[in-house]
A and B are shown apart, each in its own frame.
Chain A
Amino acid sequence: MSTSKQHGGAEHAEGAAQAAEQTESRGAVQSRRAFLFKLSLALNGVVGAVVAVPILGYILGPALKKNASYNSWVSLGSVADFPEGETRMVDFRNPVTMVADGMTANSACWVRHVESKKFQVFAINCAHLGCPVRWFPQSRLFLCPCHGGAYYEDGSRASGPPERGLFEYNYTVAGNHLMIEAGSLPTLATEACDRRTKPLVQIEPGAPGTSADEDANTTRSS
């Protein structure tokens, strides 16, 4: 073999040597092509990864953005619109919107005017699975139409499947305007306000409602 290689090339060698030479070079070509093919695969792998970066960034964009970054202060109207001791529903327009949002960028919340400058602003979305809760002034309860979650007037959990009280927005009274910090759909992950995280209540089946027990007793004895 080694001799044929030495004498190979341009010179005409013997038949057997020539055949060997041909297989040799074809083998070389083949292994070169296999290498090139592998190289092209690797190249495409790299290009694929590079292409994937903007695609993933595009898809994951909304997921990676901090919810708080959407929030800004929205006016709910004049303080005078909310009589003390009452709970009222207010509509507001989400601060961040686009044209295609249409009416879905509107939102509503419950404003409870506790006293003078003290308010509570509750999300409309039930803390269980987000259905819109309704306020009943007669029984002083928020009731959820979906699975019957109930909340007391201060937003604390009264009964039903919710694990916690209603979500509350951060609010401030600027001049005589009531402002809330809003911007993202209130859920357990975002909460209406990120700062005032309320712990989940531990629900014992059959246990009487926790927060109203004392109230109940006082009313009874009065």
Chain B
Amino acid sequence: MESQNTKKGAAIKLFDWFESRLGLAKPMIEAALHPTPARSASWWYVFGSAATVLLVLQVVTGILLGLVYTPSAGEAWSSLQFLNHDVTLGWFLRAMHGWGSDFMIAIVIIHMVQVFLFGAYKFPRELTWIIGVFLLLLTLGMAFTGQVLRFDQDAYWGLGIGASIISRIPIVGGPMVGLLLGGPIIGGPTLARFFALHVFIIPGTLLALVALHVWMVLKLGINEWPMPGRVVSKTSYLREYQEETHKNGVPFVPDAAWKDAVFAAAILLSVMACALLLGPIGPTGQPDPTIIQTAPKPDFAFLWIYAVLAYLPADMETPFLFIAPIVVIGGMLLLPLVAGEGEKHWSRRPVAVLMLAVIAVTLGTFTQLGTYTPWSPQMEAWSGDTIPTQYLEGRSPLERQGALVLQNKQCRDCHALGGEGGMRGPALDTIAARMTEDQMIRQVLQGGGNMPAYGKALSPAETHALVSFLMTLRGKDLQPAVDFSRTLTRADNGAAPPAASGEGAR
């Protein structure tokens, strides 16, 4: 008993020795015990802390990767191969860092959606939201620069895309490309720049802003559970919140914190599971600009941008590229200043919920499209994909010759047959039901829409064969396409059945 007491006494003495010098324990304990609205000790409120935990994971794994990674354009790629294959558990650390980044983006976005739906950005937490917007941008910045550090083919051509986008800015475009690349080409200085961004500049800013963000959460208190009809007003909110937390508050530790801790642990385990099962992300081929057999693709988080760029009409592209980000980011920053008061509950904010739904569906759709890029030609389809046998059965030699022309002239790169081939242009399985022979000839020779003109690339014989083959493609029970003007001319001569005219034209 006595020895225990003296041990305890010694421990307390030691603690006091530090505390009298540091003076940190008191404010920390106060922060831990700060009253939280009882209902806010909820599973809905765990995302912010999980994002912070993921950030710590990224910092730790990032530093560890930095022990081996070589930020030189000539060696980065091979140092990643070395990490993947030769360093003990190097692959696992890379996998954790890669998947950790995906998780972090996901959790930050979920956190933001939750804050938006719960109206937590309203008075007095406007600045917390605004800093949060910057945290989102910095997180995305980390993901983008990280993707560049993976210095592979995708990174190389991705940088080329970035430079091309920036080069479109009027007047300052050229200098800004130089600023981005650090020289005339994508090379050593480019990677070094992105290394500095990814390792020093963005993480430093990120950590500082996270500290500020958390500080403000502590100072202003955790958002109360929104109730329909409970309206935020700048005159009375602070008093109401005080009363609420003093009447129904629970200490953050342990009442709410245990959920944060459990969720964070679950997230960390999920990152590890993904890393273990799915392995490290990349690198893909080496960043050799002379290897052009590649279709660069950005990481998951940026697929939607890739898709939007593909679908924008050409003349809208440049204005869109520079105006849209300003509008979107500006809108997010201004949100709490414009809508800082009023209802918090989602059931009383139909516009907000609708907006969120539209944004979610849009981003989701574009991301989904980005995963299979229907706008990209399949560069190997012409030599690799087969023509379904039923499209060749019972066809005349001329028609089969046409099928060969279709393959040889790379038509398949953009047009699918039997579900195989590019999706850039329409599938040709039932083309004869949609176009008459004349229309096909015109389209093939002159192009139009998104199709180049093949007039120069096809001899008249090839064109004839190709169109003969295409005329046999009209599905099972579909009628061939009809040129309506012909029916009219025939009607003058005494009404011929319209179906015959298409065939008759042959």
- A residues neighboring B (CB under 8 Å): 59-60, 62-65, 67, 70, 89, 91, 94, 96-108, 124-125, 128-134, 136, 138-141, 143-148, 150, 152-153, 158-163, 183-185, 187-190, 202-203, 205-209, 212-213, 215-220, 222
Contact = CB atoms under 8 A, between A and B. Distances in A.
Given A125-B164, A139-B457, A209-B447, 16 more contacts: A62-B179, A67-B174, A94-B184, A99-B74, A106-B289, A108-B289, A124-B289, A129-B309, A130-B157, A131-B161, A133-B292, A146-B376, A161-B314, A187-B167, A189-B169, A190-B174
A63 B179 contact: yes
Given A103-B287, A190-B177, A209-B452, A132 B188 contact: no
26 contacts: A62-B179, A62-B189, A70-B184, A94-B187, A99-B188, A101-B73, A101-B188, A107-B289, A129-B165, A138-B409, A140-B457, A143-B377, A147-B310, A152-B456, A161-B317, A187-B167, A190-B167, A203-B315, A209-B446, A212-B446, A212-B455, A215-B456, A216-B456, A219-B458, A220-B441, A220-B455
Given A138-B409, A147-B309, A97 B457 contact: no
Given A102-B74, A219-B445, A148 B377 contact: yes
Given A124-B289, A161-B314, A63 B176 contact: yes
A143 B189 CA distance: 30
A95 to B, nearest CB: 9
B457 to A, nearest CB: 4
Interface string B174-187: 11111101111111
Given A161-B310, A187-B167, A152 B452 contact: yes
Given A125-B160, A209-B447, A145 B294 contact: yes
Interface residues of B, number: 81
A62 B181 contact: yes
B73 A159 contact: no
A15 to B, nearest CB: 43
Contacts of A129: 160-161, 164-165, 309
- The secondary-structure label for the interface of chain B is loop
B377 A97 contact: no
A93 B175 CA distance: 23
Contact of B456 (A62, A144, A153, A203): A153
B453 interface: yes
B375 interface: yes
A69 to B, nearest CB: 9
Given A101-B74, A138-B410, A146-B376, A183 B184 contact: yes
Interface centre among A96, A99, A103 (most CB of B within 10 A): A103
B410 A130 contact: no
